Amino acid sequence: MHYNISEDDLYLFHQGTNYESFRMMGCHFIEFDGEKGYRFSVWAPNAEEVYVVGDFNHWEVGKDRLKKVTKEGLWVGFIPDLLAGTIYKYAIRTKNGHLLLKADPYARQSELRPKTASVVPKQSNYEWQDEKWQDRRKGYDPYSSPMLIYEVHFGTWRKKESGEFYTYRELAQILVPYVKSMGYTHIELLPLMEHPFDRSWGYQTTGYYAVTSRYGTPDDFKYFVDVCHRENLGVIMDWVPGHFCKDDFGLRQFDGGPVYEYADPKKAEKHQWGTLTFDFGRPEVQSFLISNAVYWMKEYHIDGLRVDAVASMMFLNFDRPDWEEKIYNSFGGEENLEALAFIRKLNRVVFSYEPNFLMIAEDSSDFPLVTAPTHVGGLGFNFKWNMGWMNDMLKYMKYDPVYRKWHHQLITFSFMYTFSENYVLPLSHDEVVHGKKALLDKMPGDQWKQFANLRLLYGYMMCHPGKKLLFMGGEFGQYAEWKDLEQLDWHLLHYPLHGAMHHYVKMLNHFYLERPELYERDHSAEGFEWIDPHNIDQSVIAFLRRGKNEKNTLVIVCNFTPVVYYDYKIGVPSPGVYKEIFNSDRNEFGGSGQTNDGEHFSIPMKWHGFQQYIKIKVPPLAISVFQQINQKEEDDEWGTNV
């Protein structure tokens, strides 16, 4: 035993199989030989000497030395009588005699930027109150359940009049009720691991185990998650295991040589991003990263991780500049074999802890079986962002409707592969920055047409198979790109069209939640059937969505032109009476009011491959949804409670 660390834990850490290494690494309060104090543990295989320095010893190197306890370079020491809140760093003497000051890779708390020291953590006495949520999650089936994700950057969703950030606790009181009222099922947070630069949005991390101090303490963040769970909202966090930033106090050249990054600079350097790639084949790095995923699950009750930049992990030459020579694996391919093995291992471990945890790959490649189980050769994620659908749809929607018929395949091609993976349809922060324009500003035409196009895009996304994600501000049609130093343009809600868009998204979300046809069979071909994908000249498509109960079927019609089509024939699967239950062109949504009132009796004649059809009015730049009804049912204007 080394200050209460067992030999088994040390062995497993160096084997890459200590999946809770955060319990032994970093700074921990312990009682040892009758003394109370803090144990410090750090992995520095190339170091000659390691010390803990801070205000408590006047940053004097030599006073508090750690002992090397494994030949692989794990250093441990004990300092009595430290106070929680004390700041510290590791002073590492390299083999060439240089002295480095490094933040603790396993620190649970960090100083507020621009300061960079680690903080001795206090003993958390937070009492969770999310037992009902945890019990429900045991029986949760993410595949057949509704999933509406609201993507949020904490620092710019709202700001105080002074320009200061809201705290985790304050956001629990204003963000959570808002998201709940809008009908979302999950909040996805841009990375909250400690990071030095605000405008990296958290994607260049220095403190993987420290929730950022920008918005409060670790217990404050636990409170935020707890309130989400008590309001039946899941919490997903963006997580960046692919690369880390080069700040001197961080992981780069941690003990004077490559430790967390690849030794080969060609594999380590990500020139386009100015970051370094983790050495996925190194056992201690595997223990560090896999334990980190488990840590957020266990310590903060996080419900899922959206794993950033998976393609950059999988491919050795991803984003490699033209001037740099390409590299290849031992078989001559461009896949990073260690990264693929690491990803499979990561997902196996995570799901062994929590089978219904969400592991969502942000993957822009066409690599197969990303969401297939590892035992059949898959990568083992349970969801993947559908970047192809997003790119095709945004490209299509930018075209003036008069030209859309020449690009009709962009709205239908996704169905060639949509059931090959478990997809999330993302309209994320990445699509509204760096000169790409806001979603509303991407839409062609005058102002009315821009709003109509955006309503149509959202409606089509909601009815297309796959779970849904929308970045903050999209729900009220923000005109400006995301300004990552300012709050959203909430004042736009006072303008009629923006207010109507906000109302529309809320109603659309609740409509989705009440219609199992739109989520129960998201990942099964049985849940979808084309009615007509071929009407290129009029840019109209029609399809069916089915729930697990075959009687639950929706007829969905999308018109991507501003023309109203009257007496339009739509083949339907069974004879009977059909009624429009949703229409994005309603006046209350800012539309032109071209709705289908009354009942539509099917006509017994073949059309679109079915034995009968109905005649409808197709609204302009709009989506309309029909459902077969029982004639004896009471005539409800919407057929829903929204």
Q: Which regions of the chain carry the CATH code 2.60.40.10?
A: 7-119
Q: Which residues contact 626 (CB under 8 A, 6 or more apart)?
A: 554, 555, 556, 557, 570, 572, 578, 579, 580, 581, 596, 600, 614, 616
Q: Are strands 423-427 and 383-385 parallel, antiparallel or unpaired?
A: parallel
State the pLDDT at residue 631: 43
Position 639 confidence tier, pLDDT thresholds 50, 70, 90: very low
Encoded amino acid at 328, one letter: Y
pLDDT of 410 over the 60 cut? yes
pLDDT digits (tens, 9 = 90+) for 601-636: 999 999 999 999 999 999 999 999 999 996 434 444
Side-chain half-sphere exposure of 548, counting CA atoms within 13 A: 6
pLDDT of 436 over the 50 cut? yes
Give the C-alpha separation, 3 to 629, whole Å. 71
**CA distances in angstroms from 281 to 146, 285, 378, 552, listed in the order given:** 37, 8, 19, 49
Helix (H, G, I), strand (E, B) or coil at 397: helix
pLDDT digits (tens, 9 = 90+) for 492-541: 999 999 999 999 999 999 999 999 999 999 999 999 999 999 999 999 99
Tracing tokens 């999330």 back to the chain, one arrives at 424
Protein fold of 146-515: TIM Barrel (3.20.20)
Contact criterion met (CB below 8 Å) for 337 and 314: no
pLDDT of 4 over the 90 cut? no
pLDDT of 294 over the 70 cut? yes
State the pLDDT at residue 549: 87
| The token pair that represents 534 in the structure block | 């071929």
Contact criterion met (CB below 8 Å) for 378 and 370: yes
State the pLDDT at residue 501: 98
pLDDT of 640 over the 70 cut? no
Q: Specify the DSSP class assigned to residue 83.
A: P
**CA distances in angstroms from 352 to 138, 452, 625, listed in the order given:** 13, 46, 41
**CA distances in angstroms from 150 to 301, 362, 396, 397, 470, listed in the order given:** 18, 16, 24, 22, 5
pLDDT digits (tens, 9 = 90+) for 327-366: 999 999 999 999 999 999 999 999 999 999 999 999 999 9
Give the C-alpha separation, 442 to 139, whole Å. 41
Catalytic residues, by residue number, are 308, 362
Backbone phi, psi, residue 256, to 5°: 100, -10
Q: Which residues contact 584 (CB under 8 A, 6 or more apart)?
A: 452, 455, 456, 458, 459, 504, 508, 591, 619, 622, 623, 624
Give the C-alpha separation, 453 to 329, whole Å. 46
- Asked, as a colleague might, if the bond just before 241 is cis with ω within 30 of 0, I would say no
Q: C-alpha angle with apex 238: 237 to 242, nearest 5 degrees?
A: 140
Average per-residue pLDDT in the chain?
A: 95
Domain 525-629 class in CATH: mainly beta
- The mean per-residue pLDDT over the stretch 241-261 comes to 96
Q: Which residues contact 508 (CB under 8 A, 6 or more apart)?
A: 458, 459, 462, 582, 584
Backbone phi, psi, residue 535, to 5°: -80, 75
Position 1 confidence tier, pLDDT thresholds 50, 70, 90: low
Helix (H, G, I), strand (E, B) or coil at 334: coil
pLDDT of 638 over the 70 cut? no
pLDDT of 574 over the 70 cut? yes
pLDDT digits (tens, 9 = 90+) for 440-465: 999 999 999 999 999 999 999 999 99
State the pLDDT at residue 551: 80
Task: Name the percent of the chain lying above pLDDT 70.
Answer: 98
Q: Which regions of the chain carry the CATH code 2.60.40.1180?
A: 525-629
| CATH, domain 7-119, list 3.40.50.300, 3.40.190.10, 1.25.40.10, 2.60.40.10 | 2.60.40.10
Q: Which regions of the chain carry the CATH code 3.20.20.80?
A: 146-515
Task: Name the nearest CA neighbour of 289 among 300, 278, 298.
Answer: 278
Rounded to a whole number of angstroms, the CA Rg of the chain reads 27
